[in-house]
Structure 1
Amino acid sequence: MTQTRVILIGGALATLVLAFIGQYAPSRDLLALWLAADAVASGNPSQIFPPLGDTFAMRPPPGWYERAAELDQLGEVYPYIYPPIWAWLMAPLTKIMSFETFRAGAFALNAGLLCATSYLAARLAGVHPGSPSTLRNWMLVALALILVSQAGTIALRQGQVQILVAFLSVLALERAQRHHPKTAGIAMGIAIALKLSPLLLALLWLVTGHWRAFLWAMVVGGALGLASLIVAGWPLHAHFLALLGAIDQTVLITTVTYALDTLIGGWSLLGAPQMIPIVPPEMLTPELTAALEEPSANWLVLPKPALYAMIARGAVLATLILSAFLLRRAASPEAAAAAWATAMTGIAFFGPIGWAYYYIAPFAFAPLFLNRFGIAGGIALLGAIGLCYVNPVKQMLWSTLGLSPMQSIGLATLLYLCLMVFTSLSPTSRKSDDDPDPIR
């Protein structure tokens, strides 16, 4: 039996196993997409977005709890915060399959996409497929960090669309580097139409000379946006944009956010937060309480002070400027990959609500530390992980610096950002004077 057949058969068996496991994943983020599509299919498109408020409380439309119970999905329910077109495209599926079937398939697909993202990150960093041991080691380290951290575990368990966004973003960067602008632009355009943050990555293409890829991304993203406007109408999009505005003006502090908000907000420097229980008290029933994974879970929200909001936006802009500088002077694929990882990490860390799964793509580049710095890079990487997950380390930070476990995660992410910058600037990756053209 040829090696190709072995890989294909092994992949098919793995997909079946993962699809079976996926039946038991709660997939609550995926459920939000399903409930929005179900609302469209039922003729209630106005019910796909939650009511607006001064802050984003991460609450779904009120009727979704009952609808989830009707679908035998009793438990946590989260809001849908994607462009309307995806609910419209998903609506027919709610009529021809069950949510259990859908989430099992999505789980298998997402597991494959995490592996593919790690592979593409290696390719972007210049790891040649002809070096199977190097490629294997890269993927093992990248997947270990993704799956040991909350980035991958939460994304897989909840069926997060961010897995697809991460894959499309890294695919776009890898294709652009290998001079396939059309494929790169299409992938980035779809990513932008799912979540707006990849637009900032596309803007960096203007600095690196990938004009055609950028134009393709704008055409594809714009076409999907126009299609969304046509099928859903302006009022629903106005509500969606207002919802994004509320998110931008909210500091949300949880145990699964790796962000400046978590680091600063945990010291109560931004004001007194409001505690939001996982389910509104008036909606709780004995059956629903029994179905919740953590009945006492909650998160903290508070309005983002104007000055702090301006500082955070400035930090995102500074990240883009720094990343553009790093990309322009990158003299190797490794240095360019570290610059892209810097951009993705900074955008997530300083942007609104830096959920753990926003770091799937940045963490796929973690093997750069080992490639560039050997044992020292491995120690630095383990140190960053230790800040997040080793209890004695967290206790030491709590007693000496007053850092809560949530703030430890925020600090670890900040250190990760700094390590990526240092990797791109390391002497062995600097552009030589006799090499006028940086590798893009």
Structure 2
Amino acid sequence: MIKTLNRSTLLTLICLAGICFALVMSTFESRAMQSADLYAMWLAGDFLSMGQPDQVYPANIDRFDMTPPVAWWPYVVQIDPEARIFPYIYPPIWAKLVSFMIGHVPFSVFDVTMLALHQALLLGSAFLALRLCGMRSVTLLVAATATYAALVMTMPIGIALGENQPQILVSFLIVAAFERAYSRHPKLAGGLLALAASMKVYPLLFIVIFAARRQWQTVAWFVIVGAGLALVSIALSGWALHAEYLRLLSVVSKSVIVTKFSFSIDALLATSFFQDQLVSIQYPRQVAQVLDWSAIAKGPIWVALSGVAQIAAIAGIAALAARHPDDALVMPLAATVFALLSPLSWAYTYLTAFVFLAGLVTRLGQKGILLCVVMAVAFHPTLAQHTLDITLFGVSSFWVIGLGLMGVMAGAFLTAVLGRR
């Protein structure tokens, strides 16, 4: 009994030390970056506070190419000439809420606060995900610590922290929704998923899992909370801004962004078959700087095929969820497949699935361990810095390896689900 207690206490102390070390190291590295993704939300709120709602969303109607509204650059260059600027692509409510802070809270305070929140949520996501996988007590602590430490040391999640990317919050809300449903709190589960969908639209796809499992209370509360948030958003921001946001979503769904970090099937198709049609993106005329990405507008056939693939994926996930109603790994499988088929996926979009990787170890044994090790090594900055600049088949080998690993991860989750007895 004493030996067991001492061993558990020692492991707990080691884990706490590991969490603190990973937290401090990743925080210092994140603070060295400019939080460009969070800054986009701040700028959208800033222009709303100035009474310029036409400068919240990018105006390009031909394709989405990650360039900001035209008024942003000349405004920002007066504040910080070195700043990187990305467009705001989230629902109006969050820009409106940020607009209330303008003039009262400096961006630096908002930035640090969100980084602290994201660090906590990243660790919380790992704990909740592995709890869903059936881990408890010291095993849960060790696995969650290892997951958190490994994630913050990878380039995809390091970038997400450095950019203060809202994906971290969205992933936490999705994982928390499924954990609450598993713990028999269906109302809270539906509300959490609705909140996630109010930040990035794609989480609404996960409702098919609850519907397939006949968890109707969760579905109902998702609809109720989601409708409530939509009404509040319209009341605060007005319908015109929401119409502009819906227009943007339509443009995004018909566009493809190709970068070294865009792990998606659309990006694969674009680089494989439409390389000569890709347009290198440049900031507005005030800046003679070519950016490290390109874009293309999908043709009608491509748009139709993408829609068919997405519908097939949703139907397949629903069928799998109905057949395996208690399997926690259906959700990360869905997260991986949805991201692969999304018109706009980055390396950190897969965070919702990454936090479940330790669950593959208990299901697949040595194969699960091998996948975790390979991903941790491939995405570690020491190796990634080299593979980013090494071309393979005419494109970045980091992108080729990353997209390939996302496909392998999807296959591993599917194998784990189908192989469960």
TMscore range, shorter length:
0.7 to 0.9
Cα–Cα, structure 1 residues 412 and 209, in superposed 2: closer, same or farther, change >3 Å? same
Counterpart in 2 of 1:407?
A: 400
**Matches of 2:342 and 2:417, distance apart in 1:** 22
Unaligned runs of 5+ in 2: 1-8
Shift of 1:49: 1.1
For the 8 Å contact 2:126–2:147, the answer to whether it is kept is yes
What amino acid does structure 1 have at the position aligned with 2:178? L
Question: Would the aligned equivalents of 1:120 and 1:171 in 2 still touch at CA under 8 Å?
Answer: yes
User: 1:299: which partner in 2?
Assistant: 293
Return the match for 2:201 from 172, 196, 213. 196
Q: Give the 5 Å matches for 1:106-145.
A: 106-128=114-136, 130=137, 132=138, 134-145=139-150
Amino acid at match of 1:142: T
The question of 1:380 aligning with 2:380 is answered: no
Residue matched to 2:418: 425
CA–CA distance in structure 1, aligned partners of residues 374 and 19 of structure 2: 34
Q: Deviations over 1:68-125 (max 9, x none)?
A: 2344374211111111111111112122111111101111111111101111101111
- CA separation in 1, counterparts of 2:23 and 2:98? 22
2:181 corresponding residue in structure 1: 176
- Out of 351, 368, 374, the position equivalent to 2:342 is 351
- Alignment length (residue pairs): 405
Alpha-carbon distance, 1:404 to partner: 4.2
**Secondary structure of the residue that 2:66 maps to in structure 1?**
coil
- TM superposition shift of 1:385: 5.5
Measured after TM superposition, the shift of residue 424 of structure 1 is 0.7
| More off after superposition, 85-94 vs 161-170 | 85-94
The alignment status of 1:314 with 2:308, answered yes or no, reads yes
Percent identical among aligned pairs is: 29
Residue 94 of structure 1 is matched in structure 2 by: 102
Q: CA 1:257–1:149 in 2, change beyond 3 Å: closer, same or farther?
A: farther
Answer with 20-29 or 88-97: which moved more. 20-29
Task: Look up the match of 2:3.
Answer: none
Q: Distance in 2 between matches of 1:412 and 1:82?
A: 28
Aligned residue for 1:276, secondary structure, equals: strand
1:395-433 alpha-carbon deviations (Å, 9 max, x no partner): 9x966x67642233222211111111111111xx13xxx
- Aligned partners of 1:26, 1:74: CA distance in 2, in Å? 9
Does the C-alpha gap of structure 1 residues 203 and 117 become closer, same or farther in structure 2, counting only changes over 3 Å? same
Tell me: CA distance 1:339–1:355, structure 2 relative to 1, closer, same or farther (3 Å): same
Q: Deviations over 1:31-85 (max 9, x none)?
A: 0010111112222222211113210011111121232234437421111111111
CA contact (8 A) 1:387 1:393 kept: no
* CA–CA distance in structure 2, aligned partners of residues 308 and 269 of structure 1: 11
Number of the residue aligned with 2:46: 38
Once the two structures are superposed, residues 210-264 of structure 1 have per-residue CA deviations (whole angstroms, 9 ceiling, x without a partner) of 1111111111111111121222222221111111111110111001111112222
- Paired with 1:70 and 1:79, the residues of 2 have a C-alpha distance of 18
Structure 1 unaligned segments of length 5 or more: list them: 286-294, 431-440
